[in-house]
Structure 1
Amino acid sequence: MTHVVGEACIGCKYTDCVAICPVECFHEGPNFLVIDPEVCIDCGVCVAECPVEAIFDEKDLPESQKEYVELNIRLTKEWPLITQSKEPLPEAESWAEKEGKREHLVEMI
């Protein structure tokens, strides 16, 4: 099992999780972060740090978000590593409570 970034991260991209990660397993896209399952040590410290509760242990991922397992794996290979916190996206607060954001995920850098 690994940890997975789910839908709630889309449009927010808070990086509190990045700052606390002991193994540098996060990768950054235009409006979303992903976790590299090959690097993640399943410590879980990132889960509590995410202000929008977007990070799940894979076994706890809601059924409606199962596709995010594959998305995290695939996009990790395409997006650059992020090792330091940065400001969230400018409209993060307005995106934080939205649901059904999958269509807004920008995959190309």
Structure 2
Amino acid sequence: MAYVVTEPCIQCKYTNCAAVCPVDAFREGPNFLTIDPMECIDCDACVSECPVEAIYPDDEVPEEWEDYIDLNERLADMWADHIINETKEALPDADEWATKDDKRDQLKEDW
């Protein structure tokens, strides 16, 4: 089992979660974070650090976001050179985007 970042992270990209990861499993994209399922050790440390509650164990991802399981794996491969293991500034409008739903169309995959 690995943890999965879901839709609430899009356009926010708070990095508190990445800073507490003991194995550097987080990958950074332009406006989203992902967790490399091959690196994740299921320690649960990141879950409580996410202010938008975007991180779930892969077997507990809400049904509407189940496609994020495969998306995390694909983006982790794509962003393999973008390891993030420290706290950075959230995106400029993160607090505004944190309360929005249906953000999938805002996801940017390419740097």
TM-score relative to the length of structure 1 = 0.98
Report the Cα distance in structure 2 between the residues aligned to 1:78 and 1:58, rounded to whole angstroms: 19
Provide the aligned C-alpha RMSD in A.
0.6
1:78 Cα shift? 1.1
Over the matched positions of the two proteins, sequence identity in percent amounts to 54
Report the Cα distance in structure 2 between the residues aligned to 1:71 and 1:56, rounded to whole angstroms: 14
1:87 Cα shift? 0.5
Secondary structure of the corresponding residue to residue 56 of structure 1: strand
Partner of 1:6: 6
1:105 Cα shift? 0.3
Which sections of structure 1, spanning at least 5 residues, go unmatched? none
1:99 Cα shift? 0.5
Report the Cα distance in structure 1 between the residues aligned to 2:91 and 2:17, rounded to whole angstroms: 15
Per-residue deviation, residues 31-55 of structure 1 (Å, max 9, x unmatched): 0000000000001110000000000
Report the Cα distance in structure 1 between the residues aligned to 2:77 and 2:26, rounded to whole angstroms: 11
Report the Cα distance in structure 2 between the residues aligned to 1:58 and 1:83, rounded to whole angstroms: 21
Question: When you count helix as a share of all residues, which structure comes out higher?
Answer: 1
Superposed structure 1 runs of 4+ greater than 4 Å apart: none
Partner of 1:86: 88
Partner of 2:105: 103
Partner of 1:16: 16
Alignment: residue pair count: 109
Which sections of structure 2, spanning at least 5 residues, go unmatched? none
The residue correspondences of 1:62-77 to structure 2 (distance < 5 A) are 62-77=62-77
